[in-house]
Amino acid sequence: MQEAGRQLIADDQIQDPAVALGAALLVDMTDTDKLQVLDRNAAIVADDKQLETPRKQNPIDLILEFHTEAWRTYYFLDFKHYDVWYYAKARLIDARNGSVVRQAKCARKPTKSANSPTIDELLADNGAKLRAALEAAKQLCMATVKEEFGIYASP
């Protein structure tokens, strides 16, 4: 099932929301807190151990980490209607000592409505409704992390 999901997102070119969210949050955070950014390119790492390399190689003060914890199709108890469940975490890390300065979690767990799509409807048109559900998750996460981190730039 997981392999089928990976193939679907590859075929429909659906990107993990974390990369776009992290980049947008970085821009807004630098505007709010008047920070200087040394590298706007997202570094994709597999785990916390890989954060050690940029910490040691660069004279940086803070690292913004944003990652998708889980995302998947979510079926309701009738087993006919689906939506997207998304869970992500953000951390602002003191690069000098590795301590977490700020952190936030966001989750979009859908509720069934009269408009909840079937799996075929969710995936139709190269995943149009799937993309819309992910966009709703992105907006929710953006608002949640901005509030938790005190970011007020770019509405």
Q: What pLDDT sits at residue 77?
A: 84
Residue 93: strand pairing partners: 63, 100
58 Cβ contact list (under 8 Å, min separation 6): 38, 39, 95
- The pLDDT score that the predictor gives to residue 146 is 94
Burial 90-119 (b: 16+ CB within 10 A, else e): bbbbebeeeeeebebebebebeeeeebbee
In the prediction, which pLDDT does 2 show?
A: 66
DSSP for the chain, please give it: -HHHHHHHHHHTTPPPHHHHHHHHHHHHHHHHHTPPPS--SPPP-SSGGGGHHHHHHS--SEEEEEEEEEEEEEE-TTSS-EEEEEEEEEEEEETTT--EEEEEEEEE-----TTPPPHHHHHHHHHHHHHHHHHHHHHHHHHHHHHHHT--S--
pLDDT tens over the chain, length 155 residues: 567 667 766 777 778 888 889 888 988 988 888 887 776 666 666 667 777 776 677 778 888 889 999 888 888 888 899 999 999 999 998 888 889 999 999 999 988 888 899 999 998 998 899 999 999 999 999 999 999 999 886 55
Alpha carbons 104 and 91: distance in angstroms, whole number: 7
Per-residue confidence (pLDDT) for residue 61, from 0 to 100: 85
pLDDT computed for residue 101 by the predictor: 93
Asked if residues 24 and 149 have their Cβ atoms less than 8 Å apart, the reply is no
Which amino acid, one-letter code, is at 137?
A: A
Enumerate the domain spans of the chain.
2-149
